[in-house]
Amino acid sequence: MKLFSAHEMRAADQAAADAGIPLLLLMEAAGRAVADAVTRHFAHPEVLVLCGGGNNGGDGYVAARHLLASRRVSVLELSSAPRSDDARTMRRALLAHGLTPRPLEEAALTRALEGRPLVVDALFGSGLTRPLEGEVAAAVARVNASGCEVLSVDVPSGVASDTGELLGPHVRATRTVQLAGAKVASLFHPARAAFGAAEVADIGIPKAILEAHASVTVLSPDGVRAHLPTRAPDTHKYEVGTLLVIAGSATYLGAAEMACRAALRAGAGLVTLASEGSFPGTWPEIIHERLAWDHDPLGTLAELGENRAQVRLIGPGLDRRAAAVLPALIGQRRVPTVLDAGALGGGDAWERAVRDHGRCVLTPHHGEAAKLLETSAKAVRTAPLEAARTLAERTGAVVVLKGATTVVAAPDGRTAAHAGGHPGMATGGTGDVLAGLLGAWCSDEGALFERACAGVVAHARAGERAGARFGDGLIATDLIGAFPEAWRELREGR
């Protein structure tokens, strides 16, 4: 499935029209899809349709016409003269069926809501960039306060469709029918919650046109299955991947251990941890090499890298003294390298090293991405797709921007997003687990973007399995325990 900005959706609509599919036909299909969703999901005998003055309102007029056969329908409208010819045509068709819309005024809305109808929100669709004001904002507030269930058309009114931002007063929908494709806001918080249960309706735009006009893929188990690591019956540990983990410190050795354990559960053939701390040795499968950051660390790591590093993971819980040698360390071996946490140093020398390396995967959270982009965490949260793309372009690396919805961006512009997981994953160490998983799976340097996408989905699935057992009290190591089941489910198409 693809994710659309308002501009991309308009371009797809126009491309469909240029190919011979009239926009009026798309509006008819959209309204019919909304009416079908009402029939499938809601038993309310009364339906109140709120129509705006644009094409979203036109969809509402069509939905109202189709619902006349099975429900008692009333329509309140912002304007009796919609802005588009197609919406005006659909309004006339509704009049021909005997239903006359009334003005959306306070008294009329109050009376209509007293009957506890299902409310169809067709006021504003995608492309809204300013807060709702005046009578419209007041009407939305009344709908929200009424306790009535609401089905929104395409995007809940008052939501900025291209970000996760809430512009101000907005409809809190029970369900949203997104037309032709998912909208950006449906995946990103806080706007995501306003959509309620979201679905996508086919309105007749050919798949080839949709694929050509959307730049973001919504990740799914089916979409990443082909990129999950597999093993031949006669393989050995050096073929499935040897991982050198450069991580940990006296304070944060647990981060290093979790990354190593995750890598082993993700199928790494051999995991070596280079760390200055005293490793507790609770997992005997992890090889521990002592590292002294004050005594030729690059020499030690060069020797280890020659023998045990088809892939490197640098950063979980990393000693702060490593910052001085990070650029040199990154450039030391041209093997796939995952940079997490303490290895996301930033600065001109660091950025040059990452770009010159050419095989890096960066795993920042919003705060770390803000530091690398020299902006605020709020700016990253507001536009995570843009932030991930910009960072990928600047560094030449695959970027995994972690969050409740995680974004994966490649330097060539490919972008994907995944909204899976469990709220309990908001706990220390889950990022270390993801870093270890990616370290195990990124041995195929020709498919770093695809492997990163697969890792994000698998990590989220493990979080869902751990969350089902432990709820909001899950801890990071629970994900490691849940990972074999999650991986098996993804391979088997479950």
Strand partners, 275: 290
Q: What does residue 390 show for φ and ψ, rounded to 5 degrees?
A: -65, -45
According to the annotation, is 381 in a ligand binding site?
A: no
According to the annotation, is 315 in a ligand binding site?
A: no
Smallest CA-to-CA distance from 109 within 82, 59, 144 is with: 144
According to the annotation, is 430 in a ligand binding site?
A: no
According to the annotation, is 317 in a ligand binding site?
A: yes
Distance CA 140, CA 158 (A): 9
According to the annotation, is 144 in a ligand binding site?
A: no
According to the annotation, is 432 in a ligand binding site?
A: yes
Q: Read off the amino acid at residue 231.
A: R
Please provide the DSSP assignment of 371-436 as one string.
HHHTS-HHHHHHSHHHHHHHHHHHHTSEEEE-SSSEEEE-TTS-EEEE--S-GGG-STTHHHHHHH
Strand partners, 120: 49, 151
Q: Read off the amino acid at residue 287.
A: I
According to the annotation, is 234 in a ligand binding site?
A: no
According to the annotation, is 405 in a ligand binding site?
A: yes
According to the annotation, is 312 in a ligand binding site?
A: no
According to the annotation, is 55 in a ligand binding site?
A: yes
Q: Which residue has the tokens 């920042």?
A: 364
CB 292 within 8 A of CB 276: yes
CB 128 within 8 A of CB 8: no
Q: What 3-state class would DSSP assign to 242?
A: strand
According to the annotation, is 255 in a ligand binding site?
A: yes
Distance CA 68, CA 101 (A): 13
Distance CA 296, CA 317 (A): 20
According to the annotation, is 56 in a ligand binding site?
A: yes
According to the annotation, is 59 in a ligand binding site?
A: yes
According to the annotation, is 131 in a ligand binding site?
A: yes
According to the annotation, is 127 in a ligand binding site?
A: yes
According to the annotation, is 307 in a ligand binding site?
A: no
According to the annotation, is 129 in a ligand binding site?
A: yes
Could you give the angle at which helices 106-114 and 134-146 cross, rounded to 10 degrees? 10
Smallest CA-to-CA distance from 155 within 78, 59, 76 is with: 59
According to the annotation, is 294 in a ligand binding site?
A: no
According to the annotation, is 97 in a ligand binding site?
A: no
Annotated binding site: 55-59, 121, 125-131, 154, 157, 255, 317, 365, 402-406, 431-432
Annotated binding site for AMP: 402-406, 431
Annotated binding site for (6S)-NADPHX: 55-59, 125-131, 154, 255, 317, 365, 432
Annotated binding site for K(+): 56, 121, 157
